[in-house]
Amino acid sequence: MALPKVAGHRGAAAYAPENTLESFREAARRGIGWIEFDVKLTADGVPIIFHDDKLDRTTNSQGPVASAAFDRIRRLDAGSWFAPRFAGAHVPSFREALELVRDLGLGANIEIKPCPGREVETAERAVALIEEQWPARRPPPLISSFKSSSLAVVKARAPALPRGLLLYEDGLPTWKRDARDLDCTTVHCSGHNMTAAWAAEIRALGYGLVIYTVNEPARARELMSFGVQCIISDVPDRILAAI
């Protein structure tokens, strides 16, 4: 697939509260064509845009996301923690996010970020909404996850959706097998320990290489020299300008 050089991390996370509609709009306002964001499920099975397993860090509430119903989460303030001017920003539903992405003309790297034990269910709900909402005339979104069981659902339910295997900083001993078995299009790695040799190995196997989360222009330029195709950044406009 045609990957962008830069994608905004959780929208434009340095400029607006992450994984909110405000953050998506900010990325678009800064001229960024692709964004990355996270999908997980509420207690009553509604897909929402949220990263953590707990509400504590990015809302005015506490406790596990998996124990909170959508109606409760919907009423939370997801912006004041970032800056007073974002007071009242809410946690978007996945449906809302897809509608805004469509309206803004953005490409998307959708990360399936399930709460523990909900890997299959989260992927199933996400795929169903993507198939319902994503415009058929536009290139499909890239679906990524650290969870191979989630990507397996995507492969089985919607094989035409490109898949990306996410790796933690220390990699994963089985990444070659997993990427092959899941028929992945891309491999996503941390920018902290990426080397020219590892980048070359990934690219030689035919995978697109996506690197997260890089906010230093000099490191971004070095990574691009390794053959990296896409960099995910909290400051995507700065990185795009630098490379």
Quick check: pTM over 0.75? yes
How many CB atoms lie under 10 A from the CB of residue 205? 12
* Strand 47-49 relative to strand 34-41, pairing: antiparallel
Across the range 15-25, mean pLDDT stands at 98
Per-residue model confidence as pLDDT tens digits over 185-200: 999 999 999 999 999 9
State the pLDDT at residue 170: 79
To the query of whether residue 9 is one of the catalytic residues in this protein, the response is yes
State the pLDDT at residue 151: 98
Burial class (CB in 10 A: 0-12, 13-18, 19+), 70: middle
- From the list 9, 90, 188, 192, the catalytic residue is 9
Question: What domains are defined for the chain?
Answer: 6-242 (3.20.20.190)
Confidence bin at 24 (pLDDT 50/70/90): very high
Q: Which of 35, 147, 51 is nearest to 92 (CA)?
A: 51
Query: What is the C-alpha separation between 96 and 227, in angstroms, rounded?
Result: 35
- From the list 51, 90, 188, 192, the catalytic residue is 51
Query: Which contacts (CB < 8 Å, 24+ apart) does range 153-157 have?
Result: 153/119, 153/120, 153/123, 153/124, 153/127, 154/112, 154/123, 154/126, 154/127, 155/182, 155/183, 157/123, 157/124, 157/127
Higher pLDDT, 136 or 169: 136
Average pLDDT, the chain: 97
State yes or no: pLDDT of 1 exceeds 90: no
As given in the structure block, the two tokens for residue 197 are 């040799």
Per-residue model confidence as pLDDT tens digits over 86-140: 999 999 999 999 999 999 999 999 999 999 999 999 999 999 999 999 999 999 9
State yes or no: pLDDT of 40 exceeds 90: yes
Confidence bin at 18 (pLDDT 50/70/90): very high
To the query of whether residue 192 is one of the catalytic residues in this protein, the response is no
State the pLDDT at residue 169: 84
Burial class (CB in 10 A: 0-12, 13-18, 19+), 197: exposed
Q: Which of 220, 209, 232 is nearest to 1 (CA)?
A: 209
Higher pLDDT, 171 or 209: 209
